[in-house]
């Protein structure tokens, strides 16, 4: 145990430990008396970006989060700044030892080093891109999968969590592809994501981890849900992970005042999906991923009458009526997004024995970026203008056929209603 090292000694200790090949992670947290820092927690970890070893600093504040990557020879200034920030505790994990630097209330600094009895095998830095196989492969230790109870510390997927593991990877694959259809990953700034109806936040935490730690794209996520209990659990998990830029709030979808680049609505109940779509459109989100859940709204009102009389044999049976209403609801949603200037498609999400709710609506705002991230000057770019007459005509025809006004039209409000006015 070393007591009261000088600032230079501390800096040397940090530099030496962080740049050692055995280094895995350092967490700075807790404020000492009189500390003047905007950061609540800072986590450093090695990352492999384009084949080069960087040190990723994830700064988490009460209101914002920032991620910066430094080469080994650039570390002195950011490490020295962290020492000056006055964190009460620094915990460093390497494959050979645990280092704890604690500052007492009276300002005494204690450095404790504890060598591991069985040194862990050397870990490679997190690769920048593992998308060739699956986003989060099994058989490789992954702290996120471990904290979520999906995998063991050595990376084996727990048998009871296999379906969740598959769902997470399928979602991340879809997300990765859809992200490539936007310019967000290349924008050189933090991507802001809003997860509407985040529930237990498996997919929220996975998306955050995938962007920040696997793809090396700095991102922050706000997860919202009306259920206080799941928000509390999600916050606890985020804290346990020490992940920067993860916030959870108990609130109703559509009430968060955020300008999100990406909006998720994954299995949000009934018309909550429409509320999330409306929030995405209002805030000009570039990407929206929706996996609708139960549909009750149109189920109650569609019936064989007028033009749809011909479908009486289908709508007579409750189960077929429900499935027809599901499809009609999602077709209205996809059309509404096209009308609002989003390039939209509908794909199968994940085939699972646990849910038939496996349809995903993917929408990319099309004014500035084409499929696969094409810019307007590149061949293959097709604009997706707001109020395109083709989807407007289809939407009006669908309404005439079914004699309904879908909830999406109500929640998108006046600007949309003007566009689809017959």
Ligand X SMILES: C[S@@+](CC[C@H](N)C(=O)[O-])C[C@H]1O[C@@H](n2cnc3c(N)ncnc32)[C@H](O)[C@@H]1O
Q: Which residues bind ligand X (CB under 6 A)?
A: 197-199, 202-203, 224-227, 230, 252-253, 266-269, 272, 275, 293
284 SS3 class: coil
In terms of Cβ atoms closer than 10 Å to its own Cβ (0-12, 13-18, 19+), residue 39 is buried
177 SS3 class: helix
In terms of Cβ atoms closer than 10 Å to its own Cβ (0-12, 13-18, 19+), residue 203 is buried
Q: Is 82 or 291 the residue whose CB approaches ligand X more closely?
A: 291
CB of 272 vs ligand X, minimal distance in Å: 4
Q: Is 194 or 268 the residue whose CB approaches ligand X more closely?
A: 268
CB of 247 vs ligand X, minimal distance in Å: 15
Calculate Rg over the CA atoms of the chain: 25
Residue 45 near residue 24, CB atoms below 8 Å = yes
**Length of the chain, please?**
422
CB of 227 vs ligand X, minimal distance in Å: 4
Q: Is 275 or 409 the residue whose CB approaches ligand X more closely?
A: 275
Q: Is 252 or 417 the residue whose CB approaches ligand X more closely?
A: 252
The DSSP H or E segment spanning 30 is strand 23-31
CB of 293 vs ligand X, minimal distance in Å: 6
Residue sitting closest to ligand X (CB): 199
CB of 407 vs ligand X, minimal distance in Å: 12
Residue 46 near residue 125, CB atoms below 8 Å = yes
CB of 171 vs ligand X, minimal distance in Å: 8
CA distance 410 to 356: 27
Q: Is 198 or 337 the residue whose CB approaches ligand X more closely?
A: 198
Q: In what order do the strands lie in the sheet with 23-31?
A: 2-3, 109-115, 97-103, 87-94, 23-31, 39-49, 52-61, 65-70
Q: Is 268 or 384 the residue whose CB approaches ligand X more closely?
A: 268
CB of 295 vs ligand X, minimal distance in Å: 13
Closest-CA residue to 339 (of 256, 408, 243): 408
Q: Is 176 or 292 the residue whose CB approaches ligand X more closely?
A: 292
């Amino acid at each position: 145990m070393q007591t009261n090292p000088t600032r230079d000694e501390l800096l040397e200790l940090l530099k030496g430990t962080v740049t050692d090949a055995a280094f895995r992670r350092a967490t700075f947290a807790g404020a000492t008396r009189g500390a003047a820092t905007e950061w609540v927690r800072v986590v450093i970890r090695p990352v492999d970006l384009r084949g080069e070893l960087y040190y990723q600093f994830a700064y988490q504040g009460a209101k914002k989060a920032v991620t910066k990557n430094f080469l080994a020879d650039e570390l002195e200034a950011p490490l020295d700044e962290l020492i000056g920030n006055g964190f009460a505790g620094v915990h460093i994990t390497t494959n050979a030892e645990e280092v704890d630097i604690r500052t007492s209330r009276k300002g005494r600094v204690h450095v404790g080093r504890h060598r591991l009895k069985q040194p862990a095998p050397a870990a490679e830095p997190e690769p920048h891109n593992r998308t060739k196989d699956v986003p989060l492969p099994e058989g490789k230790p992954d702290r996120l999968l471990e904290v979520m109870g999906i995998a063991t510390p050595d990376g084996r997927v727990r048998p009871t969590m296999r379906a969740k593991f598959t769902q997470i990877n399928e979602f991340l694959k879809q997300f990765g592809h859809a992200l490539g259809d936007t310019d967000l990953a290349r924008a050189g700034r933090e991507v802001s994501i809003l997860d509407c109806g985040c529930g237990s936040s498996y997919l929220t935490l996975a998306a955050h981890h995938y962007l920040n730690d696997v793809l090396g794209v700095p991102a922050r996520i706000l997860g919202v849900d009306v259920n206080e209990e799941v928000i509390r659990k999600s916050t606890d998990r985020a804290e346990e992970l020490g992940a920067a830029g993860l916030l959870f709030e108990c609130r109703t979808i559509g009430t968060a005042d955020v300008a999100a680049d990406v909006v998720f609505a994954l299995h949000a109940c009934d018309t909550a999906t429409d509320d999330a779509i409306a929030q995405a459109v209002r805030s000009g989100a570039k990407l929206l991923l929706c996996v609708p859940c139960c549909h009750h709204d149109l189920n109650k009102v569609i019936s064989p009458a007028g033009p749809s009389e011909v479908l009486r044999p289908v709508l007579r049976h409750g189960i077929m009526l429900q499935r027809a209403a599901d499809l009609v609801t999602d077709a209205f949603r996809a059309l509404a997004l096209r009308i609002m200037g989003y390039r939209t498609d509908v794909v199968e999400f994940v085939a699972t024995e646990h849910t038939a709710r496996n349809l995903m609506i993917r929408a990319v705002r099309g004014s500035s970026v084409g499929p696969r991230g094409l810019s307007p000057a590149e061949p293959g770019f097709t604009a997706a203008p707001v109020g395109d007459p083709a989807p407007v005509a289809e939407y009006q025809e669908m309404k005439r056929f079914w004699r309904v006004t879908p909830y999406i039209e109500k929640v998108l409000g006046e600007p949309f209603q003007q566009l689809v006015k017959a």
